[in-house]
């Protein structure tokens, strides 16, 4: 009883003195669908616990929150035109991850817009956590995406691709479906040539400059990766933040 009372008094004293107790609870991702139809977010974890079983349905106008532990890294993307049965088996027109609602470790088939994160890990002397994030069109584009940091410090820029790239996609990069142009391939995927994929003799930033195709992506979405070596204007950092990932906003 005496021990409990001592701890209780210490807790009350902390409240009175406005003590700060640092607890690392994780980074909250809020996925919001502003599109006119359902989007099926896919999630691929590179490090840490898999979030949301790797995939879920997000109706128009709805949101979902997922919490990642410190050190988590991975990507989010939007799948469109999906049709799944009661057991979660089916197919998506874009961003499909092997015919399953819950991708569970499988990535999305390009072309797909990607939101990529590396969440920092607190050090022994500081609970400040710097995260890295970007929206990438390196694997092409299928749906508008935007990352908005919430409550962080530093140069926490809103990044993304909010333009309708499908509307300006060159004919040779277009993916069409019943609804018209449903996605826009990267030049690498469309032509599989080293100068577009930054491979072989073109594997360095000095030898793989922007192409006419990547410039179309960059012009439409200045804060998104347009090709492999687009780091300088496309990777951002924020400290101790949560993140809003918006589709069609």
**Tens digit of each residue's pLDDT (9 = 90 or more) over 177-200:** 988 999 999 999 999 999 999 999
The superfamily (CATH) of domain 26-247 is Thaumatin (2.60.110.10)
pLDDT for res 231: 84
Report the alpha-carbon distance of residue 53 to residue 183 in Å, rounded: 25
Q: What tokens appear for 230 in the block?
A: 């687009």
**Tens digit of each residue's pLDDT (9 = 90 or more) over 83-94:** 999 999 999 999
Contact 112, 128 (CB under 8 A): no
Of 75, 129, 131, the closest CA to residue 107 belongs to 75
The alpha carbons of the chain give a radius of gyration, in whole angstroms, of: 21
Buried/exposed 213-241: b ≥16 CB within 10 Å, e otherwise: bbebbbebbebbbbbbbbeeebbbbbebb
Domain ranges of the chain: 26-247
Residue with tokens 């919001």: 32
Task: Give the predicted TM-score (pTM) of the model.
Answer: 0.87
pLDDT for res 121: 85
3-class DSSP state of 166:
helix
Q: What tokens appear for 171 in the block?
A: 């004919």
Angle at 211 between CA 207 and CA 216, to 5 degrees: 150
**Tens digit of each residue's pLDDT (9 = 90 or more) over 124-139:** 666 678 999 999 999 9
Contact 119, 130 (CB under 8 A): no
For the chain, the farthest-separated pair of C-alpha atoms sits apart, in whole angstroms, at 77
β-pairing, 145-150 vs 159-161, is antiparallel
Of 57, 60, 61, the closest CA to residue 79 belongs to 57
Mean pLDDT by 10 residues, the chain (249 residues): 40 40 72 98 96 96 97 97 97 97 95 97 72 97 98 94 97 94 97 97 96 97 95 92 96
Q: What tokens appear for 26 in the block?
A: 């994780």
Annotate 217-242 with DSSP letters as a single string.
HHHH-TTSB-STT--TTT-EEEES-E
- Find residue 173's DSSP bridge partners: none
């Amino acid at each position: 009883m005496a021990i409990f009372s001592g701890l209780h008094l210490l807790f009350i004293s902390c409240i009175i003195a406005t003590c700060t107790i640092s607890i690392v609870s994780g980074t909250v991702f809020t996925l919001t669908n502003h599109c006119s139809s359902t989007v099926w977010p896919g999630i691929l974890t590179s490090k840490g616990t898999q979030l949301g079983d790797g995939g879920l349905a997000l109706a128009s106008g709805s949101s979902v929150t997922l919490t990642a532990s410190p050190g988590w890294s991975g990507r989010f993307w939007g799948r469109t035109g999906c049709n799944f049965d009661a057991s979660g088996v089916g197919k998506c027109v874009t961003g499909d991850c092997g015919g399953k609602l819950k991708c569970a470790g499988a990535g999305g088939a390009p072309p797909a817009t990607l939101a990529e994160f590396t969440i920092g890990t607190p050090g022994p002397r500081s609970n400040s956590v710097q995260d890295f994030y970007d929206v990438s069109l390196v694997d092409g584009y299928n749906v508008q995406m935007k990352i908005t940091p919430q409550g962080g410090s530093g140069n926490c820029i809103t990044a993304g691709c909010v333009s309708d790239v499908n509307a300006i996609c060159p004919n040779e990069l277009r993916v069409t479906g019943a609804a018209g142009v449903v996605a826009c391939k990267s030049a690498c995927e469309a032509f599989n040539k080293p100068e577009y994929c930054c491979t072989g003799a073109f594997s360095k930033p000095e030898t793989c400059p922007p192409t006419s195709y990547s410039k179309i992506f960059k012009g439409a979405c200045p804060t998104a990766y347009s090709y492999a070596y687009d780091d300088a204007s496309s990777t951002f950092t924020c400290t101790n933040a949560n993140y809003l990932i918006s589709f069609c906003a």
